[in-house]
Amino acid sequence: MAAVNDKHVWRFYRAGGIDQVMLRKGDDIGELAVLDQKLWTALSSPVKGILFDQKTLDLLDTDKDGRIRVPEVFSAVAWLKRRLASLDTLLLGSDEVVLSSFNSETPEGSELLATAKRVLTNLGKPEADAVTLADATNTVAIFANTKLNGDGVIPTDAADSDELKGLITEIMATVGGVDDRAGKQGVDKAKVEAFFTAVAAYVEWSKKGDKTVLPLGDKTAAAYAALAVVRAKIDDYFARCRLAEFDNRAVTPLNRAESEFTELAANTLTDSEEGLDKFPLARIEAGRDLSLTTGINPYWVAAVAAFRTAVVVPLLGEGSDTLSAAQWQSLKDTLAPYEGWMNSKAGVEVAGLGLERLEALLGSKLRKELDDLIEGDAALAPELAKIDDLERLLRYHANFDILLDNFVNMSDLYDPKRQAVFQMGTLYMDARACTLCFHVDDIEAHAAQAATSKCCLAYCTLKRPGSSETKQICAAFTAGFARTLWVGRNGIFYDRDGKDWEAVIVKMVDNSISLKEAFWDPWRKIAEMIGNQVKKILESKNEAVLSDAAKRIETTADAPAAADVAAAPKKMEGAALASSVAAIGIAVGLVGSAIGGLVSVIAGLPLWKTALGVVAVILIVSGPSVILTWFKLRGRDLAPILNACGWAINRPLRMSLKLAHLFTLEATLPKGAERQLVDPYEDKKTLRRNFLLLLLLVAIALWLWVNGYLNSIVPASMAL
């Protein structure tokens, strides 16, 4: 049917029980803004959990809220109209745009055409008549032969002088570099600023290194390092001596117990013996100075000697062989300014270049030359943006029509040869292939909303073999039987890339699946009811037999054992047989009553009326179930499932019975396949089985005859 307004003639097709707009030409896309939004199938969709080019979705999601909304679709259409001469080419779904398709009558189209030609020229294809997405995204090749590319990053080969190249190399070596559009390492404005800030800080810090800070000049660093090695051990020594002075009883334990030396004596000792470093630096005595040459813990002899050479002798004099507590504190105080100065060191990252080089850089013009080069490169940013626009155009050209076929209408969903963007793959389970599989983040939340779809839903967890990767899906089963699906059942899932996943059902939303199941379900329940009744009878009789046997055994406990052995089996067998016969009789009675009632109704009727009666009985039993199920199946709607996935579905997405069989395919033999009907493992129909069946039929017939149900169909002489 066609709907006409003053601006555009729309055409619609019927699918899923609703009229859906046809997008047959570019004008249909161009006029979407005037199409009544009540006729749109979806009003928004998530950018996650669907199989669609992610970069295109990010470009369409202009407000970055994680959703594609109708206004954003309008905005994309308007953007395309200013850059393409005709929107007809969007229907091709190609990532290639012919140069003649650019709209040269608009500034945006003309600029984009010029950019496309420049890209092709840089790629060595100046004669090409079309540009592809691969061309626009191959920035390494596009900018391979250009010094500046508009990204604000300057690699070494973009510098004109060796001095500037050297500076760029130093910056990358100290504060790091960044990749430019061509994949080359370089520096940008932020890196240059960080480098020169560090240079200035280091030079400023170096100026604070006066005589107070460097009491030994350039030897101060070595002296401080030597002191740092023994600081904790000498502090420990004088603390122990002060404790011994406080109480002489502490001397022995402070020098370590004799048993600890005994343990060491059993070893082959060296000066670096493990654990020896924990012993005191020297023998502990009250008020004793530290000898720097004798009586030192062997582990610390070398460190103390280095300390004496680098610190004690230069600051206290050549003959200083001992060290008092006061002298030790004086040495620490002398080197304390150096320690504080070192702790405040700034610009550490550039220190390796040397103070002389850093001071030279602060006074040179290289900083300005590099800043000018970066600014010149950044001035080309608009050119870079045009290449980004070219990529946007090519992505829209390749994917926009697919989006519309899953948004404005749902043509992909109703096309047997295609799959909608929300169909994640195919689940194989229970001899069925289910293609309505949706991505799910929260199973419980999704199931709470999706239950109103009236579909039979199986929520599965997926695990990729050989990895820890997992997913969750909701599979809608639309053909077959629901009772053969249960929580814990395993299957296999193939995603759209062909990868296989192990699938297991973790939650079911039970609903009717097919009319076939609805027809047989009442009969199955009747059979189960009869079976359960017979089972209960047999169980009760069996319990009675066992109880009776137990009583008999108790009453004959005093009888000879041989008599028990001979007599007991006969009594048990008789009881069991009687019980079984009674149970079978009751079962026959139940079945006979049902058949008798039926016979009494149809007795004496003509054959055709009898046949109609049988049909009527079948309809009475199965009819209500089939009718109710038919209405339920007609009410199945995919909209609640998609809304639970984050879509804003605007119209019902009904499923006919024919369509349902397309979404869930049942197992069938290949066309032309040959079948061998003889099953060598089929249960054989033994004589015993046939005899029991015949006996049951005879018993039912006798029961009907005795109760008078056959009087109307047997000779008068046999009537009872």
Predicted confidence at residue 689, as pLDDT, reads 64
Classify residue 532 by burial, with Cβ atoms within 10 Å: 0-12, 13-18, 19+: exposed
Which phi-psi region, left, alpha or beta, contains residue 430 (left: φ > 0; alpha: ψ -120 to 50)? left
Structure tokens belonging to residue 503: 């699938």
- The residue extents of the domains of the chain are 2-142, 217-342, 425-511, 517-634+685-706
Question: Helix (H, G, I), strand (E, B), or coil: what is residue 718?
Answer: helix
Residue partners of 283: CB distance under 8 A and separation at least 6: 255, 295
Q: Contact, 464 vs 501, CB < 8 A?
A: yes
Q: What is the pLDDT of residue 260?
A: 82
Q: What DSSP designation does 286 have?
A: T
Half-sphere exposure of 170 (CA within 13 A, CB side): 23
Alpha helices in 208-290 (DSSP H): 220-246, 251-254, 258-265
Q: State residue 626's pLDDT score.
A: 65
Confidence class for position 557, pLDDT limits 50, 70, 90: low
Inform me whether the pLDDT recorded for 409 exceeds 90: yes
Categorize the per-residue pLDDT at 319 as very low, low, confident or very high, splitting at 50, 70 and 90. confident
pLDDT for res 566:
45
pLDDT of residue 398: 95
Q: What 8-state DSSP symbol labels residue 554?
A: H
Residue 222, judged by CB atoms within 10 A of its CB (0-12, 13-18, 19+), counts as middle
Displacement of CA 17 from its chain's centroid (Å):
35
CB atoms within 10 A of CB 624: 12
Q: Express each pLDDT in 674-709 by its tens digit.
A: 888 777 776 665 555 666 667 777 777 676 666 666
What pLDDT score was predicted for residue 428?
A: 96
Report which listed range, 2-11, 411-420, 704-713, is most confident: 411-420
Question: What end-to-end distance do the CA atoms of the chain give, in Å?
Answer: 72
The pLDDT of residue 197 is 92
Instruction: List pLDDT tens digits, range 65-106.
Output: 999 999 999 999 999 999 999 999 999 999 999 999 999 999
The confidence band for 649, taking pLDDT boundaries of 50, 70 and 90, is very high
Beta-carbon contacts of residue 404 (< 8 Å; ≥ 6 apart): 23, 29, 32, 73
Report the run of H or E that residue 330 belongs to, with start and end: helix 325-343
Question: What order do you get walking across the sheet with 185-187 strand by strand?
Answer: 154-155, 185-187, 178-179
Segment (H or E) for 670: none
Question: What is the rounded average pLDDT of the residues 576-601?
Answer: 52
* Closest to 150 measured CA to CA, from 119, 174, 123, 124: 119
